[in-house]
Structure formats: C-alpha cells, structure tokens
Amino acid sequence: MLDTPSENAMFPFRPVEGVKIQSHRQATVRLVLDGQQRITSLFYALYEPDIPLQRAKYPHRFYLRLESILENDLESAVVGVSERDTKHKAELDQLVDTHKALPFSRLRDSSSFNKWLYKEQSIWREEELKVFEKFYERLQKFMVPVISLAPETSEEYIVNIFERINRTGVSLSLFDLAVAKLYRNGVRLRELWETARENHLSIKEAIVKPEFLLRLIALL
C-alpha cells in the first residue's frame, strides 16, 4: 500500500471496481500497488456491486452453503452464480430462505451475521451454532500482511520492495510498475505488449515475459 497526495499521485489511480466514491476528493489516497485482484474479489463478493464480472454480461452473486461448513468442506461451501442463471439462483435463494445458506453480504459485518444466527434462523442446534460461530471468528480474525509505504517513499525503494517480494512469494512483475508509471504520459505499455504478441507469432508462442524486454531495453 502506498499513501500519496491525491492531487500529485506518483501513479494514476482509480477506485476498486464497483466502489462508489464521494464527490469530494481526499487530500491523501491509499494506492494498492499489489493485491488489486484479491481486494476487488473480496469487495465484489461481500458488497455485491451491480456490475458484471469480466467477460460476463450479468452480475454474479456468492453464497455460503452451511451444510458444507458443518462437513468442513470449505471448497464446496462457496458457490457463485450468475443472475442470468435464474434456475440455479432460485435454488440458492431457496436455501437462504430456509436458513441453509447465506449470501456473502451477510458476512461483511458481525451485527448482520449475529442477527441472523441468534434471531432470524431457528433450524440449527446449539452444537451447529458453535461451528458457525467458530467459522465466522476465523473469518473475522484472518490477517493479511501489508507493507505500508509513506508518501515520501521513492520510486527506487518501491522497485526494491517489489524485487524482495519476488524472491520469497508469488512472482510479481516490474512490468506492472512500468505500466502504471508510463500511463499518465500517454504510453499504454500493456496494450503495446498485447499488440506485439498478436502481430508476432514467435513472441506469442515463446516463453517471453514482458519484463525481459524492459531489461533488454535497459541494457541497450
């Protein structure tokens, strides 16, 4: 994360997909340099913005099947469905009405979840309620490590941070940093890369990463 003045930001920025910002501008904004996809996915599932997913025409909604939670089968507990799939969505809504499933929007704050758990539903026994409580507690206490950078952080230090993360975690590309930096200068680096791959089959079929070309340009 990088805190930066909104009027003179180091990189161009836009809100997380689906977030509605207020009309007035904040003096400082917090940029997500890495992790945009994860944050966008979490926001989409929990806040249900009325927008379609990429390459889709209709919004998707996400549900938590409670019987799968009791079986400790978290992989099948989470179900996503397009609003276009009216049959499947109606089945999930029926599970919600009978308290056998929850829309993900119920999980975004404890008051909403606890209201359902203790006041609205009446089919689950005390033993099962404890399982749901423990599950939600794990969700609430889940922590994500964050590197928080101050506004005066230099570009060189940001590059250094990216290189360190590359050595120990999921591979991150400095190409993304270059894309963001050049964007406000009118250079659409990612579009240029995609066009080059489409026009040159040898690049498209080979294992050529865009950051390789940046390194070559730097060497030249």
The domain locations on the chain are: 36-141
pLDDT of residue 114: 95
Q: CB-based burial of residue 198 (10 Å sphere; 0-12 exposed, 13-18 middle, 19+ buried)?
A: exposed
Q: Are 2 and 149 in contact (CB under 8 A)?
A: yes
What's the pLDDT tens digit per position in 77-105?
A: 999 999 999 999 999 999 999 999 999 99
Predicted confidence (pLDDT) at residue 186 exceeds the cutoff of 90: no
pLDDT value at residue 134: 95
Helix 189-199 to helix 174-183 angle, to the nearest 10 degrees?
Answer: 120
* Average pLDDT rounded to a whole number, residues 124-153: 92
In sequence order, what are the beta bridge partners of 65? Answer: 101
For 148, counting Cβ atoms within 10 Å of its Cβ (0-12 exposed, 13-18 middle, 19+ buried), the class is exposed
What mean pLDDT is reported for the chain?
A: 87
Percent of the chain at pLDDT > 70 equals 94
Query: Over 90: is that where the pLDDT of 54 sits?
Result: no
Q: How confident is the model at residue 21 (pLDDT cuts 50, 70, 90)?
A: confident
Please give the residue that has the higher pLDDT: either 170 or 141. Answer: 141
Whether the per-residue pLDDT at 166 is higher than 70: the answer is no
Q: Tell me the two tokens of residue 157.
A: 């230090």
> What is the DSSP secondary-structure string of the chain?
-EEEEGGG-SS---PPTT----SSPPSEEEE-SS-HHHHHHHHHHHH--S-PPTT-SS-EEEEEEHHHHHTT-HHHHEEEEETT-HHHHHHHHHHHHTTSEEEGGGGSSHHHHHHIIIII--SS-HHHHHHHHHHHHHHHH-------B-TT--HHHHHHHHHHHHHHSS---HHHHHHHHHHTTT--HHHHHHHHHHH-HHHHHS---HHHHHHHHHH-
> Predicted confidence band at 137 (pLDDT cuts at 50, 70, 90)?
very high
Task: Give the CA angle between residues 131, 134, 140 to the nearest 5°.
Answer: 140
Q: Note the maximum CA span of the chain.
A: 70
Amino acid at 29: V
Q: What is the rounded average pLDDT of the residues 106-111?
A: 94
Provide the β-strand partners of residue 29.
4
Residues 55-70: pLDDT tens digits?
789 999 999 999 999 9
Whether 80 contacts 74, CB under 8 Å: no
Model pLDDT, residue 53 = 83
One-letter amino acid of 24: H
Q: Which residues pair with 28 in a beta bridge?
A: 5
* Residue 21, token pair as written in the block: 């910002």
